[in-house]
Amino acid sequence: MAEILIVVGSESGNAHLVAECVRDALARAGHGATLSTGQGCADLRLPDRGVLLVCTSTHGHGDWPDNIAPFVRSLDETRPDLSRLRYGVIALGDRTYRDTFCLAGRRLDEALRRLSATRLGERLEIDACQQPLPDEDALAWLESWTALLNAPAAHHNENNQHEETRRRCPS
């Protein structure tokens, strides 16, 4: 089974609660999962890891939560080769703020792809206005994501995305 690093960005605690639920579900499925908040990517040795899951909210005007900002800055400054890293993104936001809905998660997804990491499945975007219990959507999405994680290596398209997962995962 996989060893999964879960990097959490949270201001109000919702993303952290979702990440804890996801970690527990991964453990029940036989995976190792570790939560991390606030470290730079050099400290996390991302190029040496196989699987990363980001769970982050967006606050302010599309800003990063304060605790994940060092991680993002470190990615920008060190630009590590993440070609061996597979990842997923759970982004939390509020669609009331249409222009910045889940922007932190979207921007981090793009940063990881630019560094040659391979996204498994679609990014999950959870709307706080529509879903008062975001862990439910995350756990439903996790089933599809772990199926891709457990699948044999597959072809990846030009966007560094698993070829068989272009459709929206159920939420």
Q: How many domains does the chain have?
A: 1
**Rounded CA gap, 160 and 168, in Å?**
16
Domain annotation covers residue 126: yes
Q: What pLDDT band is residue 120 in, cutting at 50, 70 and 90?
A: very high
Read off the pLDDT band of 151 (50, 70, 90).
confident
Looking at the domain assignment, is residue 170 inside a domain? no
User: Do the domain assignments include residue 116?
Assistant: yes
What CATH number did the domain enclosing 43 receive?
3.40.50.360
| Cα separation, 146 vs 27, whole angstroms | 12
Judge contact between 104 and 58, C-beta under 8 A. yes
Q: Is 55 domain-assigned?
A: yes
Domain region containing 136: 3-150
pLDDT at 150: 86
162 within a domain of the structure (yes/no) = no
